[in-house]
Structure 1
Amino acid sequence: MTRLYDSRKRILVTGGAGFLGSHLVDRLLEQGHEVICLDNLFTGTKRNIDHLHNHPRFEFMRHDVTFPLYVEVDEIYNLACPASPVHYQHDPVQTTKTSVHGAINMLGLAKRLKCKIFHASTSEVYGDPHVHPQTEDYWGHVNPIGPRSCYDEGKRCAETLFFDYHRQHDLQIKVVRIFNTYGPRMHHADGRVVSNFIVQALRGEDITIYGDGSQTRSFCYVDDLVEGFLRMTASGPEITGPINIGNPGEFTIGELAEKVLAKTDTKSKVVYHDLPQDDPKQRRPDITRANTHLDWEPKVPLDEGLERTIAYFRKILPELELV
């Protein structure tokens, strides 16, 4: 495997037991680094990192990023925050604290250590966009007081903090905006559309579409996303971001439901419910910057990624039913 780093580093990954974090931890270990995986296990799970229990360069630390942390590392990846509406709306005040206080604590740590820090932001900073596809120059259309605001505005504030630390303290930052990502290790009850549809179909339940199914999303397979993370962190100091990381292929929610139904061979039917407040109607990244500055674009087509994800849920669902 091609190494993106010249030498071994000690790397902190916050949210490292989560869906994205655990895949990132795997890649960093494969590259020969030492990894501290930090997670409070609110949405992350030890299942995602069980295979690393005896790894000599892996360390798990249960900690909440809203509290200060004192460790010695060479690099930080800040991924800690619940990312699905079901989870981030469960405790919206804590969600905002995780984005804002967590960013302050990790930036403070990076400042003390004089190390590079990567931040996983989100396409939700664009809100329900009036510009399509979304470029990094677009400032967004976000409701500051709605049920999704704890996440959307928390992530926007975190970006502000990162760029202020960069300007004020000359901190080396890397900020990416993640668009819809899917793959193995998604939480089975996170309320996100891909996991929702797959779990419902495998259980023979009705597939629930909110709205009429015409709203669009762009789905990026997790391996592609993590490759984007690594390329961003390995880029030169002049590349701070924000940079969109996602798949520009656009599908309606109705089309996604049809694909899941066909691939699971289920007898499930599609049912429709009202669209939640502030749910974006369109979402597709412009990835020109990622392609230009990182030589990155997604490789895994939706059909292939869905098959891998369905295989994962086929394996774990029987185990979850026993818990």
Structure 2
Amino acid sequence: MHSILEEDLELIIKSDIAWENYRNKTILITGATGLIGSLLVKTFVRFNRISQGNVLIIAVVRNGEKAKRILGEELKEAEVKVYVGDITEDIYIEEDIDYIFHTASVTASKIMVENPVETIEVSYQGTNNILKLARQKSVKGMVYVSSMEAYGISNPELEFVEEKDLGYIDLANVRSSYSEGKRICECLCTAYMSEYQVPVTIARLAQTFGAGILETDNRVYAQFAKSVIDEKDIILHTDGLSEGNYCYTRDVIRGLLILGYLGESGQAYNVVNSESHMQIREMAQLVAEKVSDGKIKVIYDIPDNPLKYGYAPPVKMHLSSRKINALGWKAEVGLEEAYKRMIADMKEGIQ
């Protein structure tokens, strides 16, 4: 375990989470080999070790070998059980379940563009099956991990985008398989809450990165970080005017844990550091100037049609964290520190 990530996990355990809600409980986590899912598994394992939490963790994955690679240390623990299967098919779990964190989703833009049908199927059918399971097991709480992309293109005149301020999604763009998939899943969560009283809360995550990102991650923040490590210039393939909303991994995990027992059923909450908001080009400049200490620069190489490469449509949107702040959550790690911690963690993995 890398020291930066270990420090983050311990800080989560020592934070203001009401851990008694999870003590002696069974937690099911889908997408347990993804960034958010794997960090949730690791967090609960540390809770068991540090605070004798006695939590049974059921990690739902599609690929058992990948689980061994990403969760190798955690899988040695008796409190971790792995369920290997496809969530778009029927799921059978023998144990009672107290809480569910549904993080499974397609996250690679290339897949969204090349396999839009499968992207939608994973979203809708997978979420429907997990909600059925939540109903069957009479869970105490469920968190559906959605995305800020569910907003689409919001009204650019809004100073802050609140949870009610949904915008336009272009259904003729195949990449909308992801964003529209998130919307229908949120609607499905609300339907299960209304019709079957399933206590499900929706977490709309800002772009999340930090210690713990996977070696295979190739999203923009990972590319920027690798540019710093390799001392190579950052190359932007768009004009970079699109506005980004970000949150550090440790802060996101804390937010999800709070929503698990405190979030209002059927409600959506932005999980975002509202102060970490800037244009992509501004973030690239920050990384080049401050994180790399000026050792690299930003270069623009813009193709004729950026959308065909899977880049999200440009947006002007500043997400508000007011609603989740009212539950007692507040982001702690700013953008510059997030990059420095992530890069230090990545370097530990290289050594």
TM-score (structure 1 length as normaliser): 0.89
C-alpha separation in 1, matches of 2:58 and 2:67? 15
Verify the 8 A CA contact 1:205 1:269 in the aligned structure 2.
no
Which stretch of the first structure deviates more once superposed, 30-39 or 271-280?
Answer: 271-280
C-alpha separation in 2, matches of 1:118 and 1:160? 14
Given candidates 266, 272, 276, the residue that maps to 1:246 is 272
C-alpha separation in 2, matches of 1:210 and 1:34? 45
Residue 11 in structure 1 maps to residue 11 in structure 2:
no
Aligned to 1:321: none
Given candidates 17, 26, 42, the residue that maps to 1:26 is 42
Residue 287 in structure 1 maps to residue 321 in structure 2:
yes
C-alpha separation in 1, matches of 2:91 and 2:63? 16
Verify the 8 A CA contact 1:174 1:242 in the aligned structure 2.
yes
Aligned to 2:340: 307
The one-letter amino acid of 1:273's match is: I
C-alpha separation in 1, matches of 2:266 and 2:281? 36
Aligned to 2:154: 129
Aligned to 1:103: 127
Given candidates 151, 158, 161, the residue that maps to 2:188 is 161
Residue 117 in structure 1 maps to residue 151 in structure 2:
no
SS at match of 2:38: helix
Please list, as runs of the form range in 1=range in 2, the aligned pairs for 1:150-229 lying within 5 A after superposition.
150-229=177-256
The one-letter amino acid of 2:59's match is: C
Residues 186-241 of structure 1: per-residue CA shift (max 9 Å, x gap): 244544221111123423444222322232212200100111101111116x4432
Number of equivalent positions: 315
C-alpha separation in 2, matches of 1:157 and 1:139? 13
C-alpha separation in 1, matches of 2:44 and 2:124? 26
C-alpha separation in 2, matches of 1:276 and 1:8? 49
C-alpha separation in 2, matches of 1:283 and 1:47? 37
C-alpha separation in 2, matches of 1:161 and 1:19? 24
C-alpha separation in 1, matches of 2:60 and 2:143? 15
Q: Which runs of 5+ in 1 are unaligned?
A: 319-323
Given candidates 66, 72, 75, the residue that maps to 1:50 is 72
Residues 266-310 of structure 1: per-residue CA shift (max 9 Å, x gap): 446523324733523223211111111x11120111111111111
C-alpha separation in 1, matches of 2:218 and 2:152? 18
Residue 257 in structure 1 maps to residue 284 in structure 2:
yes
Given candidates 82, 99, 102, the residue that maps to 1:78 is 102
The 3 A distance-change label for structure 1 pair 41 and 317 is: farther
Verify the 8 A CA contact 1:22 1:48 in the aligned structure 2.
yes
Aligned to 1:273: 302
C-alpha separation in 2, matches of 1:139 and 1:281? 13
C-alpha separation in 2, matches of 1:141 and 1:83? 21
The 3 A distance-change label for structure 1 pair 269 and 199 is: same
The one-letter amino acid of 2:250's match is: D
The 3 A distance-change label for structure 1 pair 305 and 176 is: same
The 3 A distance-change label for structure 1 pair 51 and 260 is: farther
Q: Which runs of 5+ in 2 are unaligned?
A: 1-13, 48-52
Runs of 4+ displaced beyond 4 Å: 265-269
Verify the 8 A CA contact 1:86 1:190 in the aligned structure 2.
no
Tell me how far 1:105 sits from its aligned partner. 0.4
Identical aligned residues as a percent = 26
The one-letter amino acid of 2:143's match is: F
SS at match of 2:77: coil
C-alpha separation in 2, matches of 1:125 and 1:151? 8
Residues 235-279 of structure 1: per-residue CA shift (max 9 Å, x gap): 16x443211111112122122212322423544652332473352
The one-letter amino acid of 1:248's match is: S
Which stretch of the first structure deviates more once superposed, 93-102 or 130-139?
Answer: 130-139
C-alpha separation in 1, matches of 2:339 and 2:121? 33
Tell me how far 1:46 sits from its aligned partner. 4.2
Verify the 8 A CA contact 1:208 1:273 in the aligned structure 2.
no
The 3 A distance-change label for structure 1 pair 257 and 45 is: farther
